[in-house]
Amino acid sequence: MKTMLRVSLLAAVFVAAGTEPAWAHGLAGKRFFPATLVVDDPFVADELSLPTVFHSKLPGTGDTLPRKETDVSGELAKRLTPDLGLSLGGTWKAIDPAGGKSVTGFDNLELSLKYQFFKSEAHETVLSVGVGWDVGGTGGKKVDAESFDTVTPSVFFGKGFGDLPDGLELLRPLALTGAFGWAVPSRVRNQKISSTADGDVEVEREFNPTLFTWGFSLQYGLQYLQSVVRDVGLPRPFNRMIPLVEVALQTPVDGPRARYTTGTVNPGIIWAGRYFQIGVEAVVPVNADAGKNVGVRAQLHFYLDDLFPETLGRPLFGN
């Protein structure tokens, strides 16, 4: 009787939803896309990244000293509808400049809205568009949080290679995700007025460039290998690991540094469990402008749709 009631309730839920039961985080057909640590994901989901910890020695720029930096950040992503998601993120920074005084504080809040407009189960493909908003003035000046807004419209994609022909079957666990954005500051120049020791007034103007932000991740799903392509006998925990490399780049499109690309290559590994995933990556600068020291980034990431399938883990509307 209890089973009958449960089945009836499930059927009623599915019918009322008008579509299918829940799919949720990062699934397209047989493909599971993990949440990547650097490049924004192509899908919308109910997720919590907490914490993401980053540490590196960073080079000095025109007006900043070389420094050690540690960031601890969190991001909550919530589906408003099955295809529309909102996220809110924040970062606490500890900066230790060479020969200077250490400072700590929060960076600006980050809000983003993402709409997943295409999904092909057969071709393991996901496409989304979104807009990010770095909310100027919400962070601390001590840690160089910008006083102006930056709005970044972006497109995102995810593609699994499960449809490769038979001769290439060992490449089927590969997947590629990526994001392309156009980061537009609300203020083109910052003006800083100061007085010199002999009483003169000095005006410094700092240019805030528009940035083309681009990045991708190349992943090899060992679970996909085991459960779709060939069971090679991988034991736990290796059978749920996803080795990957993420490349995150940015290129100013105007100003004195126009067309100088900087960024990082981030090789690492993600272990995806039932309710959460853990990821660790090295942070390798792509050129001298991006630095010369290798940093590290680690993340604990919760699947809210699995933890709270009846409450927090469901879209607010439409499912």
Partner 1 sequence: MLRGRAALLLLLVALLVGAAGVGAHAFLDRAEPRVGSTVRTAPADVKLWFTERLEPAFSRVEVVNEAGQRVDRADGAVDPLNPALLRASLVPLSPGLYTVIWRVVSVDTHVTEGDFVFRLAP
Q: Nearest distance from residue 237's CB to partner 1, in Å?
A: 13
3-state secondary structure at position 310: coil
44 with 128: CB under 8 angstroms?
A: yes
Question: CA nearest 133: which of 107, 105, 116, 108?
Answer: 108
298 binds partner 1 per the rule CB under 8 A: no
Instruction: Compare residues 81 and 251 and give the one whose CB is closer to partner 1.
Output: 81
> What CA dihedral angle connects 303, 220, 131 and 18, to 10 degrees?
-60
List 163, 231, 254, 289, residue binding partner 1 (CB under 8 A): 231
70 binds partner 1 per the rule CB under 8 A: no
d(CA 275, CA 273): 6
Residues 179-218 that bind partner 1 (CB under 8 A): none
266 to 295: interface string for partner 1, x by CB under 8 A = --------xxx-------------------
d(CA 250, CA 256): 15
309 binds partner 1 per the rule CB under 8 A: yes
List 109, 169, 261, 282, residue binding partner 1 (CB under 8 A): 169
Q: Nearest distance from residue 234's CB to partner 1, in Å?
A: 10
| Angle, CA 56 vertex, CA 61 and CA 277 arms, to 5° | 135
11 binds partner 1 per the rule CB under 8 A: yes
Q: What is the DSSP pairing of strand 125-135 with strand 150-160?
A: antiparallel
32 to 61: interface string for partner 1, x by CB under 8 A = x---------------x-xx----------
List 12, 21, 117, 258, residue binding partner 1 (CB under 8 A): 21
Instruction: Compare residues 82 and 291 and give the one whose CB is closer to partner 1.
Output: 82
Total number of residues shown for the chain = 319
Q: Using the 8-state DSSP alphabet, how is residue 228 labeled?
A: I
Contact region with partner 1 (CB under 8 A), list: 8-16, 62-70, 111-119, 185-193: 8-16
d(CA 187, CA 174): 41
Interacting residues of 44 by C-beta distance below 8 A, sequence separation 6+: 77, 79, 82, 83, 84, 85, 114, 115, 116, 128
27 binds partner 1 per the rule CB under 8 A: yes
Specify the residue for token string 């409450």. Answer: 311
Q: Nearest distance from residue 272's CB to partner 1, in Å?
A: 9
Element (H, E) at 125: strand 125-135
Which residues contact partner 1 (rule: CB under 8 A)? Answer: 7, 10-11, 13-14, 20-25, 27, 29-30, 32, 48, 50-51, 121, 169, 223, 226-231, 274-276, 300, 302-303, 305-310
